[in-house]
Structure formats: C-alpha cells, structure tokens
Chains A and B, each alone.
Chain A
Amino acid sequence: GQNIDQPTEMTATEGAIVQINCTYQTSGFNGLFWYQQHAGEAPTFLSYNVLDGLEEKGRFSSFLSRSKGYSYLLLKELQMKDSASYLCAVKDSNYQLIWGAGTKLIIKP
C-alpha cells in the first residue's frame, strides 16, 4: 500500500525554527511536495523536491532523501501566521498526488 507519515501536531515558539518530517512508501516516485493549509482554506504550494538535497525558498527549506524515503520541511524565524497544517504529498508512478494527513503546527508567542 501507499503510505505517507508525518507527525500529527507540533508546537513551536515565535521566532524559532521547526522541522517537520515526512516519510513515504509509494508505488514509484515522481516528486515530493509540501503544501500549507490554513483551517477551512485550500492548500497552497510551498516546495517541490525531485532530486536529493535541500531546496531553499526564503524562510522555508525542504530536504529530500529518495533512498531513505524521507523529507523534511524547515521553517525559520517562525511567525504567528505560520500556524497552519503542513501537508506532505508524493507524486507516484501514475503521477497521482498521494497526501499525508498533515502536521498541525501551533506557534506560541
């Protein structure tokens, strides 16, 4: 079966750094995505990794290790508006996006 695991919930402090991990087991791999979703809203794209390594985009970075079936999203200089769910999604061999359940990130002042 296809499986994407990420922690259910994490808490961090404003101004700090947080790392959200994602492990996956899918039928094929054609890229890994991170999306942000505020409650009641649509997912918005954060990052895409298809090759191993780190992709940096402002305060957000995403890392991929295909051999380990592992990715993380790193958020720096946390702001209150970063409180949201962070969704890991993998594009499988059929180019379908398989989604994790999301990690709810709570930012405290």
Chain B
Amino acid sequence: EPEVTQTPSHQVTQMGQEVILRCVPISNHLYFYWYRQILGQKVEFLVSFYNNEISEKSEIFDDQFSVERPDGSNFTLKIRSTKLEDSAMYFCASRPGASDSSYEQYFGPGTRLTVT
C-alpha cells in the first residue's frame, strides 16, 4: 500500500541553524500539508500546498518557514533559523483529488526535530 515517507526520522540541530525536513507524498496525490506537534500537545496546522503554491498557512508559518516541491516527488519544509520552541514532531500529509470530496489525509511517520 502506498504511504507517505519522511526523512530523517530524528533531526538534532543547534539554535539558529537551518533545517530541511523532507517528505515524499503518495505519488498521485495533489494536496500536501505540514503539521507540527509539540510533545504532549495538540497537532497544529502549518501549511497546505497545491498546484505548486501555498494554498493556506497558519499564524505559526511565519517568515522563518518555507515549503518547496523541488522535483515533483519531494515536498520539503525549511526552517531558516531554528529556535528552541521549534522542537516538535513534524508531520507531512497528503491527499488525493482536486476536490474536497477526497477528504482523507494520509500522514507520514513524522520527523522529530530537537533544537538545542
């Protein structure tokens, strides 16, 4: 069964460094998402991406964040200058279809980002 994959599974970085989290969505899916979940807290929406551009983003997704689909298969989240409070699990998700009728989002296993 196709699945969303994410690399790395765990990333440790120093405060102020740039990190790139990578995701490979399911191949025929058209909508892509990034979420984060701080340990013990709720899942938070960051950004959605469709047709090679951001369709929605939350207040969390400030200028430090960017997303890219560089080659038609990878979907990346970049954090330019990490802060301690960026430590969280980052989930990528994708869903098929160009309409909201294809509603189920498939989540990747997540990347645990630790900022020291």
Contact = CB atoms under 8 A, between A and B. Distances in A.
Interface residues of B, number: 21
A43 B56 contact: no
Size band of the A side of the interface? 20 to 34
B110 interface: yes
Given A42-B108, A42-B109, A95-B56, A101 B103 contact: no
B48 A96 contact: yes
Contacts, number: 47
A94 B56 contact: yes
Contacts of B105: 45, 97
A94 B54 CA distance: 13
B43 A99 contact: yes
A95 B44 CA distance: 14
Interface in B56-112: 56, 58, 91, 100, 103-110
A84 B95 CA distance: 23
A96 B58 contact: yes
Given A94-B56, A97-B45, A99-B44, A42 B110 contact: yes
